[in-house]
C-alpha cells in the first residue's frame, strides 16, 4: 500500500482492489460485504441495496451526461442481482457558479432514466460549496430493488457455465477519453451508457438459467472476469476472437496502447449462463439494440484457478490480469 492515495487506486483494477481490501473491508468486515457483489442482498434475500458516486469529466459526453450516468449506474447494479429498481436517493454537491440551466438538463436526464427503470427518487440532499471545492458537480445515488430471481452470485460460477458479454466493449471509456482530449472522429462513437433492467427483465421472464451478472464499469471486462475467477475459484478461458469490439474503440486502443477489455462500460454487462441456455440468452439479448452484439466469449475450467486466460487467434495463451496503473481517472 502507498502512504498516500493515488489516482490509480480508483481505476477499478489491482490498486483499487488492494485499497478496498486492506482499508475498507478490513474495518467494515461482515458477511454481506465480503460477498463483493454489485449490490448487497438484504432483508432475507428480498431486497437488493447499492450506492454509487459519480464524478465523470466531462459532465456532458457523447451518449449521455452525469445525470443519466448516475441513474443508469445504480439501477444497473441492482439489475445485476436480478432486482427491479424501485426506490432511490439522490445527493448532489454543486460548485458555486454552476449553471442552473445545465443543472436542470442533468436532472431531466435523470428523470428519463428513472422512468425507464420504473424507479423514483424518494429522498436526497443538496450541498453548494465554494468555487474550486469540487469540479462543477458530483452526484451520489443509492438504490433499493426488489429481487425477482434469487441466487444470482459471482461466487457461484462453475464449469457448467459459459461467459457472455452483452455488447461491444470499451465504448464508454473510449468516448470519455476522446471527449476529454478533444479528439474528433468521422464516426458515431459514443458511450454505451444505458439502463440494463429491460434486458435483464426479459432474460428473467424467459427463464434463462443465470448464474452471475456484472456491469463491466471501471476496469472493464478484465476486472469482472478476474473478480469472478478469484471469488468462485475457477479459471475463465477467454477466446479473444469472440470479444466484440467496435472499429472505433479498436482504433483508439491501437493509437494509445490500451486494451479494450480494460476500458470502462456503462451499458454493457457480463453474464455467466448455464451452458444449455447460453445460445438462447444471446438470442434474447440480440432482440435489444443494446444487446445487438452479444457474444459467448469464454468457458469456465479449473486449469488455473483464480486466473483468467486469454486465448489468441494464433493459438497462444497469456493471462488477462487486472488492469494496473492510472488508466483513465474520472470515467464515472
Q: What are phi and psi of 67, to 5 degrees?
A: -70, -50
Domain membership of residue 246 (yes or no) is: yes
Is residue 184 over pLDDT 90?
A: no
Residues sharing a CB contact under 8 Å with residue 295, sequence separation 6 or more, in sequence order: 164, 165, 242, 243, 244, 282
DSSP state letter for 266: S
Asked if the model's pLDDT at residue 328 lies above 80, the reply is no
Question: Measured between alpha carbons, how far is 313 from 2 in angstroms, rounded to an integer?
Answer: 38
CATH of residue 243's domain is: 3.90.650.10
Q: Does residue 218 form part of some domain?
A: yes
- pLDDT confidence of 20, banded at 50, 70, 90? very high
Q: Is the peptide bond before 157 cis (omega within 30 degrees of 0)?
A: no
Residue 181 has pLDDT above 90, yes or no: no
Q: Residue 134 pLDDT more than 90?
A: yes
Q: Are the C-beta atoms of 285 and 166 separated by less than 8 Å?
A: yes
pLDDT tops 70 at residue 119: yes
- What span, in angstroms and rounded, lies between the C-alpha atoms of 271 and 82? 12
What percentage of the chain's residues is helix, strand, coil (to nearest 5)?
35, 25, 40
Give the residue from 281, 315, 264, 128 showing the smallest Cα distance to 200. 281
Place of cell 420504473: 118
Q: What's the pLDDT at 188?
A: 85
Question: Which run of H or E residues covers position 75?
Answer: helix 66-79
pLDDT over 90, % of the chain: 88
Residue range(s) defining the domain that contains residue 6:
1-47+146-332
Is the predicted pLDDT of residue 325 greater than 70, yes or no?
yes
pLDDT tens column, 28-76: 999 999 999 999 999 999 999 999 999 999 999 999 999 999 999 999 9
pLDDT at residue 324, rounded to an integer: 83
* Beta-carbon count within 10 A of 9 CB: 20
If 0-12 CB within 10 Å is exposed, 13-18 middle and 19+ buried, where does residue 25 land? Answer: middle
Q: What is the mean pLDDT of the chain?
A: 95
pLDDT at 327: 73
Counting the structural domains of the chain, the total is 1
Residue 182: which pLDDT band, with cuts at 50, 70 and 90?
Answer: confident
- Whole-angstrom CA distances from 204 to 77, 197, 299 are 16, 10, 22
Per-residue burial over 61-88, b if 16 or more Cβ lie within 10 Å, else e, is: bbbbbbbbbbbbbbbbbbbbbbbbbbeb
Cβ neighbors of 170 (< 8 A, separation 6 or more) are 220, 245, 246, 249, 253, 258, 260, 261, 262, 263, 264, 265
| CB count in 10 Å sphere of residue 218 | 24
Domain assignment present for 83: no
Q: Quick one: average pLDDT of 107-133?
A: 98
pLDDT tens digits for range 245-283? 999 999 999 988 899 999 999 999 999 999 999 999 999
**Domain-located, residue 116:** no
Angle at 121 between CA 116 and CA 124, to 5 degrees: 145
Rg (CA), the chain: 19
180 lies in a domain?
Answer: yes
Instruction: For residue 209, tell me if it sits in a domain.
Output: yes
- Mean pLDDT, residues 164-168 taken together: 98
Whether residue 285 has pLDDT greater than 70: yes
Q: Report pLDDT for 185.
A: 67
Residue 265 domain flag: yes
- Using 50, 70 and 90 to split pLDDT, how confident is the model at 183? confident
What is the signed CA dihedral for 84, 89, 94, 98, rounded to 10 degrees?
60
Reply yes or no on whether the pLDDT at 235 is more than 90.
yes
Euclidean distance between CA atoms 70 and 195, whole angstroms: 11
Looking at the chain, the whole-number percentage of residues with pLDDT higher than 70 is 99
Cell numbers describing residue 329: 481517472
Is position 106 within any domain? no
Amino acid at each position: 500500500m502507498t502512504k498516500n492515495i493515488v489516482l490509480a487506486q480508483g481505476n477499478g483494477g489491482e490498486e483499487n482492489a488492494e485499497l478496498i481490501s486492506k482499508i475498507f473491508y478490513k474495518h467494515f468486515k461482515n458477511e454481506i460485504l465480503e460477498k463483493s457483489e454489485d449490490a448487497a442482498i438484504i432483508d432475507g434475500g428480498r431486497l437488493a441495496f447499492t450506492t454509487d458516486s459519480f464524478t465523470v469529466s466531462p459532465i456532458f459526453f457523447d451518449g449521455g451526461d452525469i445525470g443519466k450516468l448516475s441513474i443508469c449506474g445504480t439501477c444497473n447494479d441492482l439489475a445485476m442481482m436480478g432486482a427491479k429498481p424501485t426506490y432511490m436517493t439522490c445527493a448532489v454537491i454543486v460548485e458555486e457558479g454552476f449553471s442552473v440551466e445545465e443543472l436542470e438538463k442533468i436532472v431531466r436526464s435523470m428523470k428519463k432514466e428513472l422512468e425507464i427503470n420504473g424507479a423514483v427518487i424518494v429522498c436526497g440532499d443538496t450541498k453548494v460549496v465554494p468555487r474550486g471545492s469540487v469540479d462543477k458537480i458530483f452526484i451520489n445515488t443509492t438504490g433499493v430493488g426488489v429481487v425477482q430471481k434469487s441466487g444470482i452470485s459471482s461466487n457461484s460460477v462453475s464449469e457448467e457455465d459459459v461467459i457472455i458479454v452483452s455488447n461491444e466493449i470499451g465504448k464508454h471509456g473510449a468516448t470519455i477519453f476522446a471527449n476529454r482530449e478533444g479528439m474528433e472522429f468521422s464516426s458515431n462513437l459514443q458511450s454505451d451508457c444505458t439502463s440494463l433492467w429491460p434486458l435483464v427483465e426479459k432474460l428473467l421472464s424467459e427463464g434463462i438459467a443465470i448464474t452471475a451478472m456484472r456491469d463491466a464499469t471501471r476496469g472493464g471486462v478484465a476486472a469482472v472476469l478476474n473478480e469472478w475467477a478469484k471469488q468462485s475459484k475457477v479459471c475463465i478461458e477467454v477466446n479473444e476472437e469472440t470479444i466484440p469490439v467496435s472499429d472505433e474503440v479498436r482504433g483508439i486502443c491501437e493509437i494509445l496502447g490500451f486494451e479494450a477489455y480494460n476500458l470502462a462500460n456503462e451499458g454493457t454487462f457480463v453474464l455467466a449462463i448455464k451452458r444449455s441456455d447460453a445460445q438462447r440468452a444471446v438470442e434474447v439479448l440480440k432482440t435489444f439494440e443494446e444487446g445487438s452484439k452479444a457474444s459467448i466469449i469464454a468457458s469456465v475450467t479449473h486449469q488455473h484457478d483464480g486466473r483468467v486466460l486469454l486465448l489468441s487467434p494464433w493459438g497462444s495463451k497469456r493471462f488477462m490480469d487486472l488492469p494496473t496503473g492510472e488508466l483513465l481517472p474520472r470515467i464515472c
